[in-house]
Structure 1
Amino acid sequence: MAIRGSDDKETGPFGLDVSPKGLQPRVVFALLLVGSAAGIWLSRWGEAFVARGFWWLLVVALGSLGGGLYWRLVLFDASDFEHDDTTRAVSEQWRRVEAFAVLALLLGGVGSVATGVMARPLDPGEVAVGFGVALSTFLWVGLDRYSGDERRQTATYVRWLFFAVVLGSLAGFVWTETSGRPLEWVVRAGHVGSFALWIGGASWHNFVVLPTLRARPDAADEIKAGARRFRRHLPVVIAVFLATGVYQAVRLLGYSVSALFGTPVGRFVAVKFAILAMLTGLVVVNFVKARKADDPDG
């Protein structure tokens, strides 16, 4: 049973924020995970369950790192903060998220490449994924050498290289799913890239922004500045994700409604679109609330 604290926030038996406001980011993150699982199930149709599990773990890890690193490098501005200790707290929180994502990347990458080797010769995309996983792990471990304030600029350069390698791995992942066909690759890259930005932002929000807000409520305005920057990206992210998803669904099923609901593949596509509709609805609700909060006279 939930307990209401002195700040009107409901706290569950394990200290988790279970208020509607606290649950919504977790719901978004969970929907993205389920939607990506359905997507991998479709794109890897016919492959072994274990192989599809490894590819799903890989794309979630690459997406969380790619979108999260974009937030860390582009949207996170240390000048927003009045105190260096808050900046360090945010950086340390993200470092923990990176650790879990890199571990998932290593497991998913090794597993997906290994199952591919057992089934057939590796294609160029799988080679790129394997190389990217190895180099990403090396760069992430190397970031520990540049953790001091005096080496902050060097750490930024290394993190940009890390980001580029993750994007290269995502490109290799897309290659494996499209066999390098140019138009299909561009469409799939747009779909996977928009997913990466979305789940990376959700990871940052759930595991960096919210924990830091709970620990340092006095820095709420500064911490939320990056969240507002990310929110401005979401209309484009959703539009690209939806447009590329519709294109891929039409290529797969045609325009037949019966194929959408009457075949196993079609039902997975329907699940993906239902999840996207729920995600879009949550985003619209948040936009309306944010506009009202920013415009007290409205």
Structure 2
Amino acid sequence: MDRRMLWVLAAALLLVGCDAPGNGGPEAGAESEVSEAESAEPDISVTLKPAQMKWVGAQIFRNECAGQLDCLVHWNEGEAFPSLGIGHFIWYPKGVEDRFIESFPALIQYMVQRQAPVPDWLRKLEPFDAPWPDRQAFLAAQDSVEVAELRSFLAGTQGLQAEFIVRRAKQSLTDVVAEAPADQRASVRTRLKALAATPGGIYALMDYVNFKGEGLSRMERYKGQGWGLLQVLLAMEADTAGKPALDRFREAAATVLKRRAANAENPIERERWLEGWLKRLESYREPVDMPAST
């Protein structure tokens, strides 16, 4: 659908179908398991029930939008692109080529494949670029029929968006491990396995990949240093004192994001965004309200 569709998003996971009505997924209550395909570590696998999948999607929506539906169609100040849906998927306008991996076109392609009611004007876009050239034009269009339809569509397909996040997250485990320095690959694999073994670790992996990417793109670097999942896994402390993997992941992510903000040319990352990033990391704890897996 789009020339910029680059796909590998990192994590260690999984899949579960979504139980949203009419989306073509497994029946409600069905349970599916996805093991790491064609991997050196086939024992890293996760099983989630649809209720758990919806819980994870709800947490990501809360992180990105504080649960506010208006935020489903949004353009952050200081950015050259809108962010859409529960995962704030990036969509570039015509002529914009930023360092961040675009994800909204792939989401819509997935929605079409799943026979979701994608608005006609969205289906007919050619090329598939964001129709607003800049933030000012976007804000001026907030009362338009197109924006209203897009917001309604994204509000009504949150389950499918969560499923998309999970499905794409499983795709790149081998790439994340392979990209690690040779002498650290075993450690990276072990850390992924430990995180995938607990509900909080599963959520943290999924959310961080959606939040800051897998860390494989050479474009997603400031001063040669990335901030994705791979970089966090490499920054994790060794398990020498019995500290849970999730705690070590959260602390490493904070270190990596502080480094990103320090390296950024745009001061908005240090002055406004970093505080919110660090607050988001505090949600990376074992949940007390996730539905039971049995």
Which TM class, normalised by the smaller chain length?
A: 0.3 to 0.5
- Structure with larger Rg: 1
Relative to the length of structure 2, the TM-score reads: 0.32
